[in-house]
Amino acid sequence: MTRRFVSNREARRLFLDRHLLLRPGSGPGRGDDLVGVLDDLGFVQLDSVNTLARAHDLILWSRRGRYRPRALEQLVARNRAAFEHWTHDAAIIPMRFYPMWGLKFARDKQRMDRNWPKWRREGWADEIDTVLRHIADHGAASSLDVGEGEPRNSSGWWDWHPSKSALEYLWRSGQLAVCHRKGFRKFYDLAERVIPPEHLGRQMDAAETVDWAMSAALDRLGFGTSGELAAFFDIVTPAEAQLWCAEALATGRIVEIDLELANGTRRRSFSTEALLEQITALPEPSGRVRLLSPFDPALRDRARAERLFGFRYRIEIFVPAHRRSYGYYVFPVMQADRLIGRIDAKRDGDTLRIDAFWPESGVRFGKARHLGLKAELERLAGLTNVSRLDFTDGWLRS
């Protein structure tokens, strides 16, 4: 059977529409509207770097300009409409997905039982019951509230004190849940005190979870290989993903496509007839210049972003300053369905300082685009609490 050809232009627009970046976007960015955004995206990655705004806040603001960080805090800590756990990394996830994480809890527990004795400081396993009892008796706790007398010096996340490792083990295996954060510090409580009973008590077997995870990933990406679909929630194994795709293809639930990449080559992927039918009805992309988080769902898979948009991006936080191509933490910039450059922008008191903008090769940075970028930076004022922009000398790079 001949595979349907999907042009790069069509692929970009379908992909961006699934990520809520094709259209202008509207809505209050709080309450049920924010739950809807989380549901549409699948999850929002958490990150602590705050040179401009934290990743999760910038991701949500990019879809809802009226969003403010307090709204997400309320969803998690007060309304219990979302929970915090892991996909490929730490993330905020819609609460209705909680039952699907049962398989991840079990598999993470198996991995920790196998690997953590080699990776963690000695004594962490002995603290599990102590930490669990402390929280049961005294309520929510952070890593500062457990492990009294344990040495606290640490060289990084791999060198937690034993009680911190016990906390994370209990959380990753589903016995504890993050109930709230103060600053960026997690507080943990018993899962039954945090997760609403209708979600906590719902059980799903492995086959149901695999089917949900693959279907939900495909719906949110628009297309993908078995590996890309498995990696989306990071619940499904590569072997399970391959089997699911083979069975779904045989029964007509999914179809194979030839996806045109930015360099003109083709990549075999999977989609559905329903998703492909949407392509002809997609509107022209918004002309807004958008500043995106480096961890935006549309860009977090660096290899896919490079294949689809011809945009190569790497975080340079851990690269020595003299070896960086761009900067410590620079933000991708999108317009319409193209990545047009990257910007080094940061808060400095009540000022948003723009140290550099690097247009992508072939991007003409004329007056209209300059004004579009300035308008986007001005929109950021409400999220970042700055009152003025400062473009440093020589900010526009060639």
**Each residue of 291-339: pLDDT tens digit?**
999 999 999 999 999 999 999 999 999 999 999 999 999 999 999 999 9
Does 169 score more than 70 pLDDT? yes
Q: What average pLDDT score do residues 135-145 get? A: 96
When pLDDT is cut at 50, 70 and 90, the band that residue 10 belongs to is very high
Any alpha helices (H) in 42-184, and if so which ranges? Answer: 55-63, 69-77, 102-119, 128-138, 162-172
Does 123 score more than 60 pLDDT? yes
Does 272 score more than 90 pLDDT? yes
User: By C-alpha distance, which of 3, 6, 8, 2 is closest to 337?
Assistant: 8
Does 149 score more than 90 pLDDT? no
Classify 2 in phi/psi space as left (phi over 0), alpha (psi -120 to 50) or beta. Answer: beta
User: 55-63 and 31-41 helices cross at what angle (nearest 10)?
Assistant: 100
Give the Cα separation of 272 and 256 in Å (integer).
8
Query: Considering the chain, what is the average pLDDT of its residues?
Result: 95
When pLDDT is cut at 50, 70 and 90, the band that residue 224 belongs to is very high
Q: What is the pTM of this model?
A: 0.95
Domains and CATH numbers, the chain: 120-195 (1.10.10), 289-391 (3.40.630)
Signed CA dihedral, 355, 61, 315, 180: sign only: positive
3-state percent breakdown (helix, strand, coil) of the chain, nearest 5: 45, 20, 35
Q: What average pLDDT score do residues 125-153 get? A: 90
What pLDDT is recorded for position 154?
A: 55
Q: What average pLDDT score do residues 36-49 get? A: 96
What pLDDT is recorded for position 24?
A: 85
Give the Cα separation of 27 and 35 in Å (integer).
12
What pLDDT is recorded for position 293?
A: 97
What percent of the chain has pLDDT above 70? 97
User: By C-alpha distance, which of 360, 337, 362 is closest to 11?
Assistant: 337
What pLDDT is recorded for position 160?
A: 78
What pLDDT is recorded for position 158?
A: 54
Q: How many CB atoms lie within 10 A of CB 374?
A: 14
Does 182 score more than 60 pLDDT? yes
CA atoms within 13 A on the CB side of 104: 21
Give the Cα separation of 392 and 386 in Å (integer).
16
User: By C-alpha distance, which of 60, 63, 62 is closest to 73?
Assistant: 60
What pLDDT is recorded for position 159?
A: 59
